[in-house]
Structure 1
């Protein structure tokens, strides 16, 4: 009996799904989404092809899971590293540099987000919920800054949250199209425009 079968590929556990997602993330980053195969991902995860299909029906589901995991990781990192406006721009700069090390994943995220705008797309609910949750979480944080008069006058926390996502995602799209483009500088400038730094330093 092979190693993959011996490990019981049909044991439907969060740990096994996590192994598959990590394997898919590596395969997508190395080979690109189109060239990555479910069999390669299964081999990396140490399970059979049939075992993988017991957890994920197709590559689209796997890609959505990979991107959701990345979102969760980055949100936790942001919460841990950013507790004031002056820390936001440096954190975003490092985050963008990290994304630029895996441009294939950045491109796949952009393509999937656009495709998921269709209500019948399998990832539609995930992306709609992701943006709604992200706007709400950022708006809550921006409300705290607004009470200290640190948000630029005339900009509501809700608008700031929506603009934040639009600028960050839009600049990454531009970079995918032109990888010589500096997008860290514009992100830093946007943060400076968003916050009243004279008050942020108080």
Structure 2
């Protein structure tokens, strides 16, 4: 690994912060959160240790930013790729397989989300907003009665959004406990159950 660069280490630029977050993401994924050090992250980012501390005060703050960055990427991918119900299954399959390539990040996300269930946790407001936005995005995909017809009879878009989050998070937790478990098949089956009322909306296996 090259010597840390010192150009503008105290300039709080978005580009510099993004470099640090990418470096932290790689370090957490390779070494695990407990074994990753701020000095290693600084070296990966090409910045001094003191320069990193000017942007992020500690490793906990960096972890929150790494997971928020991962969320943002997933969010944008969903917006770009899921323009109809028949794209939901393939998108979820791709998303899960992508997350399985970095199980440590998946584990850290679940641990932080659980800890943030406490109202006094620093990340509580972030997760409240995240889940609200996710539910709204899902529900907004059914703007009229014709679109709602794609859902199985009796299931509202609002209920489907809550179920969608619960199933996706729960399956990933089960996979972390047993990484031999197939969770791609079940998530595809879940999408089929949601859209059972309209055969044209079913995603292909």
TM-score (ref. length: structure 2): 0.92
SS across alignment from 1:78? helix
Q: Is the 8 A contact 1:27 1:41 kept in 2?
A: yes
Measured in 1, the distance between the counterparts of 2:59 and 2:190 equals 36
Q: In angstroms, what is the RMSD of aligned CA positions?
A: 1.8
Shift in alpha-carbon separation, 1:43–1:160, aligned structure 2, 3 A: same
Measured in 1, the distance between the counterparts of 2:142 and 2:182 equals 26
CA displacement at 1:127 relative to structure 2: 1.0
TM-score (ref. length: structure 1): 0.93
Q: Is the 8 A contact 2:10 2:51 kept in 1?
A: yes
Structure 2 gaps of 5+ residues are none
| 2:74 counterpart residue number | 74
Measured in 1, the distance between the counterparts of 2:41 and 2:131 equals 29
Measured in 2, the distance between the counterparts of 1:58 and 1:6 equals 20
Count of matched residue positions in the alignment of Structure 1 and Structure 2: 200
Listed as ranges, the matches of 1:3-82 within 5 Å are 4=4, 6-82=6-82
Listed as ranges, the matches of 1:1-202 within 5 Å are 4=4, 6-144=6-144, 147-195=147-195, 196-200=197-201
Measured in 2, the distance between the counterparts of 1:70 and 1:125 equals 17
Q: Is the 8 A contact 1:24 1:62 kept in 2?
A: yes
Shift in alpha-carbon separation, 1:146–1:172, aligned structure 2, 3 A: farther
Structure 1 gaps of 5+ residues are none
Greater per-residue helix proportion: 1
CA displacement at 1:46 relative to structure 2: 1.1
Cα deviations by residue, 1:120-153 (Å, 9 ceiling, x for unpaired)? 2121111111111111111111345764511111
Measured in 2, the distance between the counterparts of 1:145 and 1:98 equals 34
Q: Is the 8 A contact 2:135 2:162 kept in 1?
A: yes
Shift in alpha-carbon separation, 1:79–1:144, aligned structure 2, 3 A: farther
Measured in 1, the distance between the counterparts of 2:114 and 2:129 equals 15
CA displacement at 1:61 relative to structure 2: 1.1
Q: Is the 8 A contact 2:149 2:198 kept in 1?
A: no
Measured in 1, the distance between the counterparts of 2:193 and 2:78 equals 20
CA displacement at 1:101 relative to structure 2: 0.8
Q: Is the 8 A contact 1:142 1:151 kept in 2?
A: no
